[in-house]
A and B are shown apart, each in its own frame.
Chain A
Amino acid sequence: MTTERAYHQARWNEPIILDMGGEGERGILLPEVEKEMLEDITSIKSQIPKALRRVTPPDLPQISQVEVYRHYLRLSQENLGAGFVADVGMATSTMKYNPPINERLASNPKFTDLHPLQDVSTVQGMLEIAYTLGEFLKEISGMDDISLQPRAGSQAIYANMAMIRAYHDKNGQGTQRDEVITTIFSHPSDAAAPSAAGYKIITLYPEKNGYPSIESLRSVVSERTAAFFTTNPDDTGIFNPLIKEFNDIVHAVGGLCAYDQANANGLLGIARAREAGFDLCHFNLHKTFSTPHASGGPATGVSCVTEELAAFLPSPHISFDGDRYYIDEDRPESIGKIGQFYGVAANFIRAYAWIMAHGAEGLKEVSEIAVLNNNYLMKKVLEIDGITIPYEPGKPRLDQIRYSWHELLKDTHLDIVDIANRSADYGMHFFYSHHPYVVPDPATLEPTESYSYRDLAKYADDWRKIATEVKNDPEKILTSPHMAPIHKMSDLTPLSDPEKWIPSWRVFKKKKRSVHSD
């Protein structure tokens, strides 16, 4: 027997914590300065000159531990963690199962209390995990060397751009090569990070088949091309079969090719950056390799490069001499530090354990099931009247798909934001598309390998219910959400008005005071 779920999220109406508690209440106590020490140090001057000693204490909460803990537990209940649902709608993000065993391993005090500047003899275990994970990722990408230092995918894109610049600089073409080519369905950071590095961005748009034409690429490459940054497949789930030819065209003019593999979930053991002719790629451990998304980081982007670019990898580099693991800082051609220390080491442990739990066969199983799941879900979703797929519908897709609700919504007063709001009532996350919306009223789904066919059938069924509401009860959608921790926000314009925005509690209080004094 199956009972229809009656979902309702917790609604605690928690005050802002700065508005809680009472004078003198304490959340945690610290030891007092030892008496003996206090007597001894009178001969040493105070280390804080009078003028620099804080007199007005910060207006932080004064509140008991009981209430702090309860407050944050309640806030956590008002948050839809991926662990609670088949998180198919948070697409392009590869929301997959985050096994608790990996959390236990990453919480081992033998790791959490490591200081990054310890003597290498005391961190051999940590370095072994980092180095071996790197070896795994070299095999999975086919590339020759890697860095785990970038603290997320976008920082890895930046690191790859910086290495490309160093490469062209070394060849005396640094100034000449000032353009980067990308595609509109590649992540915004494939345009933004090279732009932040000072490059002019050229964006290619897809043809009817979902990927740019060879001719469009040919028309923009030149001796000014520094690099081509692309995903494949991108958010449409369409694999560009001419990718090798694309890379050959870029190479022919002296440019380099960087593969955004933040999401490589459909390709493990199937196809690699190496065979497609890429010079660089990056993986997000928090996507394909199952480390948790952590409310938006910390994360890990792994930069992978061919031998030709290895010398430019961020410094320091974690290496192995056949006997001992060591930290190599003697890298004169390196782009230097991308981030502090060696990156988000907890994710090295989690990803290592996740890969070990699968092995080669298991990783291929991950990708096969992820792709089968995606096509299974597509079939179910396309049975819903008015939901369509742009670009050659009917052809199998890899790991994700951008759908369009446009046919269903075009004659109503609803738009895709209303659908997203209503999705919250069903316990779903909802991702439209990155900007700009090339596909009208977009919605992207990525079922990964973590969800059963039952989950997926249910997911499609919930979409069907919302689609039915579009026709039968649009008002319910327009006024949604109804089951979320809060009701519909009435006015979002203050967020872009400097006179009205409220980026902190103190700004709220200042504005309240000024309203009252008016």
Chain B
Amino acid sequence: MIKMNKKVVYPYIPNSTNAARSTLIKSLEITSAEDVFSAIPSHLRLDRPLNLPGPILSEYHLEKHVNEILDNNQTANDLVSFLGSGCYQHFIPVVCDEISHRNEFLTAYSGKSYEDHGRYQALFEYQSMMAELLNMDVVNLPTYDGLQASASAMRMAANITGRKQILVGSAIHPEKSSKFVEYNGKSLDIVYLPFDDQSGELDMTALRASLSKETAAIYLESPNFFGVIETKLKEISALAHRFEAIVIVNTDPISLGVLVPPADLGADITCGDIQSLGIHMQFGGGQAGFMATRNDPKYVLEFPNRIYGLVPTVTPGESGFGEVAFDRTSFVGRENGKEWVGTMANLWAITAGVYLSLMGPQGMRDVGELIESNVRYAILRLSKVPGIKIQFGESNHFREIVLDFSKAKKTVEQINRELLKKNIMGGYDISGKFEGFDNHAVYCFTEVQNKETIDALEKALREVLA
């Protein structure tokens, strides 16, 4: 290769030619770029080039280089995956991808309601469709993920009630508790309530014993971490409301075509993650958190996040959008705002809006019924496999079930390793994460599964456990 001592012209940097650079320098009446950095004292200057590889200047080679690294992955699509536990493989309509890749939405940021009208309307529509699905009135623009939504919902409840105690049903992803403790543990009193050993639902005796006038909220997930649907939400809400405590229910909106929304069972705040609504898993990068309440200022004024609202323009019949109760946010009040507001996960709200408008009421029902059938079929097939017991077998499940391998001769880790050799990703290993659950795994059955894949799982498990 002929090496020429030529300055690199970077395609992403229009002014990187020598000619353009000297236009800038001449106009500034300086001698070199160094002069504009004169404010930085020399002891703070880096006195050597950064130690970085590259560059790979040609796009062709850059693409090849990155794709070769990514080729070392095996995805849930290359194999068959039964993983869930917070991130889910669902059907994704192509229109969802088309819209989320539009440069207009992808590259926009936080422009004002005029030049960014389309973004405001798409996000208002997201809020509105989520409100219908959840049977609530007010939904925030998404926060980072469902975990942050849960943590913020607890703070909202504490602020509204002026109390500090949060009762948390412990059938949650075990990793969530570190966040609850770190984020809320210093200011709130977080008390975990056990789940019933037999059903996997909240232990009602413990709830009754714990509720008091000190309780700000009871936080529950349904379907919970075990896939178990909490069937006594109505009773739980009534009990909590007797003490004027707030009921927070974390749910997955994809279940709400077939399940009664928590709001109808007494929930005051519904929260969760929207990743299931048309967003690729992306190694966990597709999460986005929602919170929803009724249109009660006592609640609305406690949201930390943006909420868009409809306003009229000077032209009759035309609508614009603005920020509802913006004064509550940290953008106005800095340290006096509610938590903070900033860049969070708006693109996924636009995508979820596209998903909900494509699915409609019938699509949401269809997807729920497909999932229910797959779960029933999985219970039917897997309960017959020697060495497997369906944990909480008498309970009602949505999308996930817990398999108890304690009678098997192998650990979940071994089983999963052998399944992987058969091109199957087994369920999430929860051994050691809950007391008494030594050899258990959470298996997930969304609508992407079918008779063929579930039969294949059964066959593989029989072979592995034989």
- The answer to whether B327 has its CB under 8 Å from any CB of chain A is yes
| Most A C-beta atoms less than 10 A away, residue of B33, B123, B229 | B33
Asked, given contacts A76-B102, A495-B325, whether A44 binds B380 with beta carbons under 8 Å apart, the answer is yes
Stretch at the interface among B93-101, B206-214, B240-248, B403-411: B93-101
- The answer to whether A344 has its CB under 8 Å from any CB of chain B is yes
A315 to B297, CA, bound (A): 37
Chain B interface category by residue count: 35 or more
- The answer to whether A386 has its CB under 8 Å from any CB of chain B is no
User: Which residues, 332 to 373 on A, are CB-close (under 8 Å) to B?
Assistant: 335-347, 349, 352-353, 355-366, 368-369, 371-373
- The answer to whether B259 has its CB under 8 Å from any CB of chain A is yes
- The answer to whether A387 has its CB under 8 Å from any CB of chain B is no
Asked, given contacts A79-B118, A109-B75, A362-B8, whether A298 binds B40 with beta carbons under 8 Å apart, the answer is no
Tell whether, in the assembled complex, residue A34 and residue B186 are in contact, meaning their CB atoms are under 8 Å apart: no
- The answer to whether A458 has its CB under 8 Å from any CB of chain B is no
A25 to B91, CA, bound (A): 20
- On chain A, the residues within 8 Å of B236 by CB distance are none
- The answer to whether B436 has its CB under 8 Å from any CB of chain A is no
User: Which residues, 306 to 327 on B, are CB-close (under 8 Å) to A?
Assistant: 307-315, 317-320, 322-327
Tell whether, in the assembled complex, residue B361 and residue A48 are in contact, meaning their CB atoms are under 8 Å apart: no
Tell whether, in the assembled complex, residue A298 and residue B56 are in contact, meaning their CB atoms are under 8 Å apart: no
Tell whether, in the assembled complex, residue B44 and residue A347 are in contact, meaning their CB atoms are under 8 Å apart: no
- The answer to whether A18 has its CB under 8 Å from any CB of chain B is yes
Asked, given contacts A122-B420, A270-B40, whether A60 binds B54 with beta carbons under 8 Å apart, the answer is no
Q: Would you give the shortest CB distance from A262 to chain B, in whole angstroms?
A: 9
- On chain A, the residues within 8 Å of B325 by CB distance are 495-496, 498, 501
Tell whether, in the assembled complex, residue A154 and residue B287 are in contact, meaning their CB atoms are under 8 Å apart: no
- On chain A, the residues within 8 Å of B27 by CB distance are 376, 379, 453
**Complex interface bits, B416-458 against A, C-beta within 8 A gives 1, otherwise 0:** 1100100001001000000000000000000100110000000
Q: Would you give the shortest CB distance from B44 to chain A, in whole angstroms?
A: 5
- The answer to whether A412 has its CB under 8 Å from any CB of chain B is no
A489 to B117, CA, bound (A): 12
Task: Select one of B129, B350, B396 contacting A60, CB under 8 A.
Answer: B129
Tell whether, in the assembled complex, residue B83 and residue A63 are in contact, meaning their CB atoms are under 8 Å apart: no
Task: Select one of B53, B102, B147, B309 contacting A359, CB under 8 A.
Answer: B53
Stretch at the interface among A184-192, A214-222, A303-311: A184-192
**Complex interface bits, A259-290 against B, C-beta within 8 A gives 1, otherwise 0:** 00000000011111001100000001010001
Tell whether, in the assembled complex, residue B122 and residue A271 are in contact, meaning their CB atoms are under 8 Å apart: no
- On chain A, the residues within 8 Å of B198 by CB distance are none
Tell whether, in the assembled complex, residue B343 and residue A152 are in contact, meaning their CB atoms are under 8 Å apart: yes
In the complex formed, the residue of A with least CB distance to B59 is A101
Stretch at the interface among A8-16, A248-256, A401-409, A466-474: A8-16
A47 to B1, CA, bound (A): 68
Asked, given contacts A151-B344, A295-B119, A341-B284, whether A359 binds B55 with beta carbons under 8 Å apart, the answer is yes
Tell whether, in the assembled complex, residue B283 and residue A126 are in contact, meaning their CB atoms are under 8 Å apart: yes
Q: Would you give the shortest CB distance from A229 to chain B, in whole angstroms?
A: 11
- On chain B, the residues within 8 Å of A34 by CB distance are 450-451
- On chain A, the residues within 8 Å of B141 by CB distance are 296
Tell whether, in the assembled complex, residue A293 and residue B108 are in contact, meaning their CB atoms are under 8 Å apart: yes
Tell whether, in the assembled complex, residue B340 and residue A108 are in contact, meaning their CB atoms are under 8 Å apart: no
Tell whether, in the assembled complex, residue A453 and residue B20 are in contact, meaning their CB atoms are under 8 Å apart: yes
- On chain B, the residues within 8 Å of A495 by CB distance are 309, 311, 322-326
Tell whether, in the assembled complex, residue A295 and residue B117 are in contact, meaning their CB atoms are under 8 Å apart: no
- On chain A, the residues within 8 Å of B162 by CB distance are none
Q: Would you give the shortest CB distance from A22 to chain B, in whole angstroms?
A: 11
- On chain A, the residues within 8 Å of B132 by CB distance are 18, 58-60, 505-506
Q: Would you give the shortest CB distance from A441 to chain B, in whole angstroms?
A: 16
Tell whether, in the assembled complex, residue A27 and residue B320 are in contact, meaning their CB atoms are under 8 Å apart: no
- The answer to whether A57 has its CB under 8 Å from any CB of chain B is yes
Tell whether, in the assembled complex, residue B138 and residue A84 are in contact, meaning their CB atoms are under 8 Å apart: no
- On chain B, the residues within 8 Å of A119 by CB distance are 416-417, 420, 425
Task: Select one of A108, A296, A484 contacting B109, CB under 8 A.
Answer: A296
Tell whether, in the assembled complex, residue B280 and residue A78 are in contact, meaning their CB atoms are under 8 Å apart: no
Task: Select one of B13, B89, B128, B398 contacting A115, CB under 8 A.
Answer: B89
A430 to B148, CA, bound (A): 30
- The answer to whether A201 has its CB under 8 Å from any CB of chain B is yes
- On chain A, the residues within 8 Å of B145 by CB distance are 151, 339-340
- The answer to whether A176 has its CB under 8 Å from any CB of chain B is no
- The answer to whether A490 has its CB under 8 Å from any CB of chain B is yes
**Complex interface bits, B287-298 against A, C-beta within 8 A gives 1, otherwise 0:** 110000001010
Tell whether, in the assembled complex, residue A28 and residue B359 are in contact, meaning their CB atoms are under 8 Å apart: yes
- The answer to whether A413 has its CB under 8 Å from any CB of chain B is no
Tell whether, in the assembled complex, residue B45 and residue A13 are in contact, meaning their CB atoms are under 8 Å apart: no
In the complex formed, the residue of A with least CB distance to B292 is A504
Tell whether, in the assembled complex, residue B55 and residue A358 are in contact, meaning their CB atoms are under 8 Å apart: yes
- On chain B, the residues within 8 Å of A14 by CB distance are 121
- The answer to whether B163 has its CB under 8 Å from any CB of chain A is no
User: Which residues, 71 to 103 on A, are CB-close (under 8 Å) to B?
Assistant: 71-84, 90, 93, 95-99, 101, 103
- On chain B, the residues within 8 Å of A360 by CB distance are 49-52
- On chain A, the residues within 8 Å of B311 by CB distance are 489-492, 494-495, 502
Tell whether, in the assembled complex, residue A345 and residue B380 are in contact, meaning their CB atoms are under 8 Å apart: no
Tell whether, in the assembled complex, residue A53 and residue B258 are in contact, meaning their CB atoms are under 8 Å apart: yes
Tell whether, in the assembled complex, residue A421 and residue B182 are in contact, meaning their CB atoms are under 8 Å apart: no
Asked, given contacts A115-B76, A192-B340, A298-B347, whether A58 binds B187 with beta carbons under 8 Å apart, the answer is no
| Most B C-beta atoms less than 10 A away, residue of A26, A68, A272, A420 | A68
- On chain A, the residues within 8 Å of B98 by CB distance are 69
- The answer to whether B459 has its CB under 8 Å from any CB of chain A is no
Q: Would you give the shortest CB distance from B5 to chain A, in whole angstroms?
A: 13
Can you offer 24 A-B residue contacts whose CB atoms are under 8 A?
A: A16-B319, A25-B360, A27-B359, A30-B447, A38-B373, A59-B132, A61-B356, A68-B357, A69-B99, A79-B108, A80-B108, A111-B73, A123-B73, A154-B342, A241-B39, A296-B109, A336-B182, A340-B87, A340-B146, A341-B86, A372-B24, A372-B36, A496-B325, A504-B128
